[in-house]
Homo-oligomer: A and B are copies of this chain.
Amino acid sequence: MSSQGERSAAIADQERIEMLRTMVRIRKFESVIQNKFADAEVPGFLHLYIGQEAIATGVCQALEERDYLTSTHRGHGHCIARGLETDRMAAELYGKETGYCKGKGGSMHIADVNAGMLGANGIVAGGIPIATGAALSAKMRDTDEVAVSFFGDGALSEGAFHESFNQAGIWDLPLLGIVENNQYGEMTGLEEQHPPSALDDLTIYGEPYGVTRMRVDGMDVEAVYEATLEAVEQARNGDGPALIECVGYRFEGHHEGDSQFYRPDGELEEWKQRDPLLTYPRKLIDDGVLTEEEHQEIEAEIEAEIEDAIEFARNSDYPDPQQAYEGVYSDGGEQA
């Protein structure tokens, strides 16, 4: 993994604490949702982000409000890191009308366009062309907005990745691809999904397009943050697209219900030792940025927030069935 150079000492204490809070919020939100899913309160499919929190957090910390992002089937972390509210997220997962998509999207399609969050996407690589279009739009409207697309290692095998980055390379678009390498696409390991030539460094997929390639430890939120900052700055300056591979691991199944037969013995445990939810608070405490008590407070505060969010979701109404016919078009109704 290429080193990020000396870590800038310049990350402000407050930002570091903010990143910790974001990671805690993602972890707690998902852990609770995981239980509610097991209790059959949350319908549909559930792909958890647990283990990958440092990635969404580090990336989004480096963005501005005016930037755009697209996400994946595993999108809760991206949403929370982007600042979406956990109550409306929970309500969406519960299928309630107070949810971000009024119950029409669910886990795989959470979006908040007002926050520049152009949606989770149930199609692998489906968000990449959309982000490319946002980057194009940013450029055509003469802004310095940047578009970030999160996607998994698996998405690199889809043509949509290739066409988008090729176009971004030609047009020098402010497009940032975040490859979340969590070692698996569904239940299949990387070595069955990528040629040997790519396994050591998935950013090689960006090589033809002249993107800036970076590779960072996806369990290290600050490494992710700093790499993203650099890529974002470059994109804002008109120097074109970048691809950042964040090497990490997912701690839960591909989706809830996955037997996880495919994990070699000990692999999960080994990665868990690098759990950013363990290592980062420890680091901040070591660095004197945080006390153990403050850490506990953060945890408690966010636990309460998530509890409230779940209550909000529970207490919200299911959409009236007739709402199914609304929202297909700008003029309201369904097709005749």
A198 to B167, CA, bound (A): 12
On whether A198 and B193 interact (CB within 8 A), knowing A158-B163, A159-B163, the answer reads no
Query: Quick check: is A205 within 8 A (CB to CB) of the other chain?
Result: yes
Q: How far is the CB of A212 from chain B (nearest CB, A)?
A: 11
Known: A158-B163, A159-B159. A196 touches B210 (CB 8 A): yes
- Closest chain B residue, CB of each to CB of A171: B195
Q: How far is the CA of A233 from the CA of B169 in the complex (A)?
A: 34
Interface string of A210-221 (1 = CB under 8 A from B): 100000000000
Chain B residue nearest to A204 (CB atoms) is: B208
A166: chain B residues within 8 A (beta carbon): 156-157, 194-195
Contact of A210 among B163, B169, B170, B197 (CB under 8 A): B197
Shortest Cβ gap from A75 to chain B (Å): 23
**Contact: B207 with A207, CB < 8 Å?**
yes
Rounded to whole angstroms, the CA-CA distance of A161 and B169 in the bound complex is 17
Q: Is A192 positioned at the interface, with any CB of B under 8 Å from its CB? A: yes
Q: A158-B163, A162-B162 are in contact. Are A195 and B207 (CB under 8 A)?
A: no
Q: Once the chains bind, are B193 and A170 in contact (CB under 8 Å)?
A: yes
Count of identical protomers in the assembly: 2
Name the CB-closest residue of B to A201. B208
A207 touching B208, Cβ below 8 Å: yes
Residue A209, interface by CB 8 Å: yes
Q: Which of A151-206 contact B (CB under 8 A)?
A: 156-163, 166-167, 169-170, 192-198, 204-205
User: In the complex the two chains form, what is the Cα distance from A283 to B193 in whole Å?
Assistant: 48
Q: How far is the CA of A123 from the CA of B312 in the complex (A)?
A: 52
CB <8 Å contact, B170 and A192:
yes
| Complex Cα–Cα for A114 and B161 (A) | 36
CA of A255 to CA of B192, assembled, Å: 42
Within 8 A of B (CB), among A127-167: 156-163, 166-167
Residues on B with C-beta less than 8 A from A161 are: 162
Q: How far is the CA of A204 from the CA of B167 in the complex (A)?
A: 15
Give, as a whole number of angstroms, the nearest-CB distance from A77 to chain B.
27
A residues neighboring B (CB under 8 Å): 156-163, 166-167, 169-170, 192-198, 204-205, 207-210
Known contacts A169-B197, A169-B198, A197-B207; 15 additional CB pairs below 8 A are: A157-B166, A157-B167, A158-B163, A159-B163, A161-B162, A162-B162, A169-B195, A169-B196, A170-B193, A197-B210, A198-B208, A204-B208, A205-B208, A207-B208, A208-B208
21 A-B pairs, CB-CB below 8 angstroms? Answer: A156-B166, A157-B166, A157-B167, A158-B159, A158-B163, A159-B160, A161-B162, A166-B194, A169-B196, A169-B198, A195-B208, A195-B210, A196-B210, A197-B209, A198-B208, A198-B209, A198-B210, A204-B207, A205-B208, A207-B207, A207-B208
